[in-house]
Amino acid sequence: MYAQMVKSEATNDDPEKLAAFQARIDANEKIEPKDWMPEGYRKTLIRQIGQHAHSEIVGQLPEGNWITRAPTLERKAILLAKVQDEAGHGLYLYCAAETLGISRDEMTEMLLSGKMKYSSIFNYPTLNWADIGAVGWLVDGAAIMNQVPLQRTSFGPYSRAMIRICKEESFHQRQGYDIMMKMARGSPEQKEMAQDALNRFWYPSLMMFGPSDKDSVHSAQSMAWKIKINTNDELRQKFVDQTVPQAEYLGLTIPDPDLKWNEEKGGYDFSEPDWSEFYDVLKGNGPCNRDRIEARQEAWEKGRWFRDALVAHAEKRAARRVAAE
Ligand code: FAQ
């Protein structure tokens, strides 16, 4: 439905302007907020950047849950810093989306009403400390795989936000892997917890890259506009190829009996995630969808007085300035 809308909007644009725009994209020029852009390009960016921003914010919830229960003061400080980083990522991304003519309040309302999505992965629970390791290792690992190419995305503010975000994400991935290393080399029970976390987070992490290329609605247009640089399957394959040796180093087993090195393609063959589960989670039926939205709803309501006070303060200052002139 959205894809159809984007397509028809794209074709309603002035063909000469469209051709000039595409030539800029093809020449790898960055598009800036005040430049002319097709309506479909603007809307696709709002959808993707907005979804990305919401993911960073909702993504704090499964980890924030563990700040008070981290096993040592050092682990607590590290996790706290990571969760704060995610808040910062959300803010850079909301700011990038705002340059396209939508407000953060509008995007938040759309998240809360279910009109905008956030990453499927954050609808899975973090049941124990090993899950925090798995989130850092696999979820941040998948996020980096997706986001490194986005540093070269065609929209200037998104691309610049991604450069900073990627630096921080690589620290996140390392802290997760470090937790997994400690667990995997700990007692047999700890190693078992690490394996169990890998078992539960493996396929949901593969789903983070989106549906397989044959079912991806937006990839072709987004890649033509260089909003996306790679297809979903390309990035998923790279993630598997990077992660399997890391699991081997930990002495853990990827929960896929069909995982096998394919010499010819120079990568692993692996089983697809259960796509019916993916679409079910997108529809709101994952294990934590309701909790996540309720938590964001509550935070939004509790922050209302503060947002109102900020606006009132700004208006008062502006009125004082006008009176003084
Ligand atoms: N979850 O046609 P495509 C992070 C939707 S950040 C939910 O392939 P597209 C950091 C898609 O929106 C993680 N929905 O779509 C962190 C579309 O629905 P729509 C977030 C998904 O946009 C770590 C429909 O399916 N990263 O983790 C998902 O070309 C730890 C058809 O799909 C980003 O957002 C999904 N997994 O490609 C934070 C990166 N996949 O809108 C805290 C930027 C697909 O038509 C702790 N985003 N959908 O209703 C992207 O690169 C793209 O948007 C994709 C999807 C690759 C996610």
Q: What is the pLDDT of residue 4?
A: 41
Q: Report the separation in Å between the CA atom of 127 and the middle of ligand 1, taken as the mean of its atom positions.
A: 24
Nearest-CA residue for ligand 1 atom 33 is 52
The answer to whether the CB of 144 is under 6 A from ligand 1 is: no
CB-side exposure of 187: number of CA atoms within 13 Å?
2
For ligand 1, mutation pick of 47, 162, 214, 218 (most atoms within 8 Å of CB): 218
Q: What Å distances lie between residue 55 and 60, 86, 95, 96, 121, CA to CA?
A: 9, 9, 15, 15, 9
CA gap 26, 267 in Å, rounded: 30
CB 53 within 8 A of CB 97: yes
State the Cα–Cα distance between residues 127 and 53, nearest whole angstrom: 24
* Residue nearest atom 30 in ligand 1 by C-alpha distance: 140
**Ligand 1 in contact with 44 (CB < 6 A)?**
no
List, in order, residues 6 or more apart from 302 with CB less than 8 Å away: none
84: helix, strand or coil? helix
- Any residues with CB less than 8 A from the CB of 250 and at least 6 apart, and which? 180, 181, 184, 194
Tokens for 282, please give them: 């997108």
**pLDDT tens for residues 177-231?**
999 999 999 999 999 999 999 999 999 999 999 999 999 999 999 999 999 999 9
Give pLDDT, residue 11. Answer: 58
CA of 87 to the centre of ligand 1 (A): 18
Q: Note the pLDDT of residue 12.
A: 75
Find the helix or strand (DSSP H, E) in which 262 lies. Answer: strand 260-262
- Positions in the chain short of pLDDT 50: 1-10
Q: Could you identify the residue written with the tokens 């809360």? A: 112
Q: Ligand 1 within 6 A of 243 CB?
A: no
The one-letter code for the residue type at 190 is: Q
Distance CA 10, CA 41 (A): 8
State the Cα–Cα distance between residues 307 and 258, nearest whole angstrom: 52
To test the ligand 1 pocket, which listed residue (83, 122, 282) has its Cβ within 8 A of the most ligand atoms? 282
- Ligand 1 centroid from CA 4, angstroms: 18
Residue pair 51/117 in contact by the 8 Å Cβ criterion:
yes
Q: How far apart are the first and last CA of the chain?
A: 52
Contacts by residues 36-41 (CB-CB < 8 Å, ≥ 24 positions apart): 38/9, 38/10, 38/13, 39/9, 39/10, 39/12, 39/13, 40/6, 40/7, 40/9, 40/10, 40/13, 40/221, 41/10, 41/225, 41/227
Residue with tokens 């063959």: 269
Distance 117 CA to ligand 1 centre (A): 8
Q: How far apart are CA 291 and CA 289, in angstroms?
A: 6
- Counting from 1 in the atom list of ligand 1, the atom nearest the Cα of 60 is 42
Q: Which residue, among 2, 83, 82, has the nearest Cα to 39 in the 3D structure? A: 2
Which residue's CA is the nearest one to ligand 1's atom 54? 210
Please name the residue that has the structure tokens 């005040």: 34
- Answer yes or no: is the C-beta of 146 below 6 A from any ligand 1 atom: yes
Distance, CA of 32 to CA of 26 (rounded, Å): 15
| CA neighbor of 225 nearest in space, from 15, 17, 18 | 18
Residue 48 Cβ inside 6 Å of ligand 1? The answer reads: yes
216 ligand 1 Cβ < 6 A: yes
Question: Which of 61, 78, 111, 117 for a ligand 1 pocket mutation test, highest count of atoms within 8 Å of Cβ?
Answer: 117
Q: Is 120 in the pocket of ligand 1 (CB under 6 A)?
A: yes
Residue nearest to atom 4 of ligand 1 (CA): 143
